[in-house]
Amino acid sequence: MKNKRILVITGNGKGKTTAAIGIIIRSLGHEKKVGFFKFFKSKLSGEDKILKKLGVRIFQFKKAQFFNPQKIPKNLIKECEALWQKVLKNKDQFDLIVLDEINLALSAQIITKKDFINFAQNTKANLICTGRAAPIWLKKIADTVSEIKDIKHDLGIGNQTQQGIEF
Ligand code: ATP
Ligand code: MG
């Protein structure tokens, strides 16, 4: 029986990253080592300050900006590739690896299916992949897939992001 699990948290509703953070906290309670890789994000969120204090290693983009997911800017493609190299370099340190927002990099084939599967086969860590539009092949190889449905979201009706709720 294999112990390692691949979890995918996808869909358009709010709660993907925060669900992954819940599992990080659960793992920390069992003394697990956690690597949190944040694709497409360069700023620290509220939770990151706490997670760092609890020993989670956080890796993210050096610089990020808003963009249209249909046309990912070149600098962000380079950032993706650089962060992916950090995943590969550091993977053996962790019991749990959270790849936040990687689903976009996978569906845009910035990180190829072949590279991801090769990585997944060569790590002992549990993996969590978050982000909208997870590719079908990822959902097939995952052990657990949750899709969060958007019923409504106050940002969708023009409200401003709120500290402590969105970041
Ligand atoms: P969270 O980090 O709160 O768990 P998420 O990871 O599911 O959210 P992302 O797709 O990463 O959401 O979105 C990043 C930002 O967009 C977050 O600040 C989130 O609150 C906001 N957001 C999430 N879902 C929606 C939505 N359906 N409409 C508008 N904004 C959204
Ligand atoms: Mg998120």
Nearest CA to ligand 1 atom 17: 166
Unique residue bearing structure tokens 């979201």: 153
Residue 52 belongs to a domain: yes
Q: Give the Cα separation of 150 and 115 in Å (integer).
A: 31
Q: Give the Cα separation of 144 and 73 in Å (integer).
A: 31
Nearest CA to ligand 1 atom 4: 15
Q: Give the Cα separation of 145 and 48 in Å (integer).
A: 24
One-letter amino acid of 118: N
- Looking up residue 92, the CATH number of its domain turns out to be 3.40.50.300
Structural domain containing residue 142: 6-150
Q: What does pTM read for this prediction? A: 0.95
Residue 139 belongs to a domain: yes
Per the structure block, which two tokens stand in for 36?
């949190």
Residue 21 belongs to a domain: yes
**Average pLDDT per block of 10 residues along the chain, 167 residues long:** 87 98 98 98 95 98 92 96 98 98 98 98 97 97 98 87 93
User: Which of 102, 113, 105, 104 shows the shortest CA–CA distance to 137?
Assistant: 113
Q: What is the pLDDT of residue 2?
A: 65
When divided into structural domains, the chain yields a total of 1
Q: What is the pLDDT of residue 3?
A: 79
Q: Which residues line ligand 1 at a C-beta cut-off of 6 Å?
A: 12-18, 101, 132, 150, 153, 155-156, 161, 166-167
Q: Give the Cα separation of 162 and 133 in Å (integer).
A: 24
Residue 165 belongs to a domain: no
Best of 14, 128, 152 for a ligand 1 pocket test (most atoms within 8 Å of beta carbon): 14
Residue 1 belongs to a domain: no
Residue 87 belongs to a domain: yes
Q: What is the pLDDT of residue 160?
A: 87
Residue 90 belongs to a domain: yes
